[in-house]
Each structure stands twice: as C-alpha cells, then as structure tokens.
C-alpha cells in the first residue's frame, strides 16, 4: 500500500454503505441504522485500468540471476529442505 496507493486519488469512501453492526468503529447511531461506511483503497497503477502494467512481478524467477537460482536450488538439501527435483524455476 505504501508504494502503490495514491494518497489523494486512490481512496474511495462510501459513508452510507451497509455495515455489520458488530464492527467496533461504528457509532451507536450507525449501529441502529445498519450503515457505517466503507472505504476502498485502490493499489492499481494508472495504466492498469487499461490492462497494461509497467511492473515485473517479484518472484524467484524474476528477481535473481539464473546462476544464483541454480546455486540455491542445487544446495536445497544443505539448507535443510528436501531435494529439489529438476532445474531452477
């Protein structure tokens, strides 16, 4: 949220949205009315509304060089894990 949510354009408040009466932040009036508000925080980047993304998904495959991935997978048992089958992901 710290890097993906825009503080002024990424928040959508719905002050009269139906609420669950057990939510502790509700006032007594909101509990009686069954409404207490909701907020949606959008963490989409602007171009994602068009189905495009500039980011690369962080993963073992995308974040480390192949040589390092091979060394890690090759010493999997030395790290206390069961033997890895096959090549690095």
pLDDT digits (tens, 9 = 90+) for 8-39: 888 999 988 998 888 898 899 999 999 988 99
Whether the Cβ atoms of residue 41 and residue 5 lie closer than 8 Å to each other: yes
Q: What is the pLDDT of residue 51?
A: 86
Q: Does residue 11 contact residue 44 with C-beta atoms inside 8 Å?
A: no
Contact in structure between 69 and 86 (CB atoms under 8 Å): no
First to last CA, the chain: 28
Res. 6 pLDDT band, cuts 50 70 90:
confident
Q: How far, in Å, CA of 6 to CA of 70, rounded? A: 38
């Amino acid at each position: 949220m710290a890097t993906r949510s825009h503080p002024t354009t990424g928040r959508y408040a719905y002050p009269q949205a139906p609420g669950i009466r057990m939510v502790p932040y509700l006032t007594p009036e909101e509990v009686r009315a069954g409404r207490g508000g909701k907020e949606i925080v959008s963490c989409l980047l602007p171009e994602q509304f068009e189905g495009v993304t500039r980011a690369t998904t962080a993963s073992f495959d995308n974040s480390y060089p192949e040589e390092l991935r091979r060394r890690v997978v090759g010493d999997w048992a030395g790290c206390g894990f069961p033997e890895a089958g096959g090549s690095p992901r």
